[in-house]
Amino acid sequence: MKLSVFYDHILQAKKQTGKPAPLLLTEVRTAGIEAVEINMSYLCEHEKVYGMLKDAGLRVSCVYEFYEMEKKDETERARLHIETARKAGAERILVVPGFVSGEESVEMAACLPYPDRTKAYFENNDKILRMEEGLCAMVERGARENIAVTVEDFDDVCSPLSGMNGLRWFLDRIPGLGYTFDTGNFIIQKEDERKAFELLKDRILHVHCKDRGSKPLAVGTGTIPIPGIIERLKQIHYEGYLAIEHFDAEDQENCIKNSAGFLKNLI
C-alpha cells in the first residue's frame, strides 16, 4: 500500500503557514507520501501544478469531481474528467454523481438499511436512475481509456451513495464501476464501517483514510477503527493508495505528517 493526500490540504496548509506550495509538497514527499488526490476543475484551471508535482517527485493518485447527473447531461464534463486523469497519469477517477432533494433524502434514509427497500426506492427515483445512466456511460468511456471510474460512500444524507446498500445497488447495476472506500463516511447513515467493508470489499479500488472526532483531525486520533480496516485491506491483498483526508483541519501541515506517520507504521 502507498500513501497519498488531498491537494486541497496542501492549499490549506499554504494559507495557514505562509509557506509556498513547492516547499510543502517537498515536505509531503519527505513524509513518505507518494501522490496527491486532486479536483478535476482545479487541475484544469491550475496547470502549473503538474510541474510542481513532478519537481517534488509526486504522482496523482486520483482525480475527483462533482456532477449534477440528476439534472443534466454531463457527457462533456465526463469526457474532460477522463482526459484530465489520463494527462495527469492517474489510473482512477472518483465521481460524485449527484444528489436527491432534502425531502427525498428523508424517504431514502428510511429505505437504506434494507437492501430490498433500497432497490425498490432507487428503481423508482428518476434522479437516481439518471445518475446510474451517467455513471454507466462514464465507465464505458473510462474502460476505453484505461481509466477506472469509482464512487465513494459520500458524507451527505442527500447522496444515494451515503449508505452501504445504496452503494451495493450501483455496483451491482454497473459491473465495471469501482469503489473508493472512505473509512469515515458511513457514520452519516449511522452504519458500521467494518460491516460495510465486508459488503463492498470485492469492488474496492481506492481508499480514503478519514478519522472522526469533534473536529477534523489526523488519521489515528479519532473514533474510526483504522488499524482494523488496514488489517482487512492487507488480508484482501489491497495494494493501492491510502489517501489521507482531513478537510478543514486547523493545522494541516502537522496533521498530514502525523497521519502519514501513523499509516506508515500500519502498512
Per-residue pLDDT of the chain (267 residues; tens, 9 = 90+): 999 999 999 999 999 999 999 999 999 999 999 999 999 999 999 999 999 999 999 999 999 999 999 999 999 999 999 999 999 999 999 999 999 999 999 999 999 999 999 999 999 999 999 999 999 999 999 999 999 999 999 999 999 999 999 999 999 999 999 999 999 999 999 999 999 999 999 999 999 999 999 999 999 999 999 999 999 999 999 999 999 999 999 999 999 999 999 999 999
Q: How many Cα atoms are found within 13 Å in the side-chain-facing hemisphere of 163? A: 22
Q: Output the pTM of the full model.
A: 0.96
Q: Which ranges in 145-225 belong to alpha helices (H)?
A: 164-173, 193-200
Who's near 193: CB < 8 A, 6+ residues apart?
183, 184, 186, 187, 224, 225, 229
Answer yes or no: are the C-beta atoms of 149 and 139 closer than 8 Å: yes
Q: How many Cα atoms are found within 13 Å in the side-chain-facing hemisphere of 185? A: 24
The whole-number pLDDT of residue 111 equals: 98
**Residue 28 and residue 25: Cα distance in Å, rounded?**
5
The whole-number pLDDT of residue 140 equals: 97
Specify the CATH number of the domain 2-261. Answer: 3.20.20.150
Q: In the numeric block, which cell numbers belong to residue 53? A: 508535482
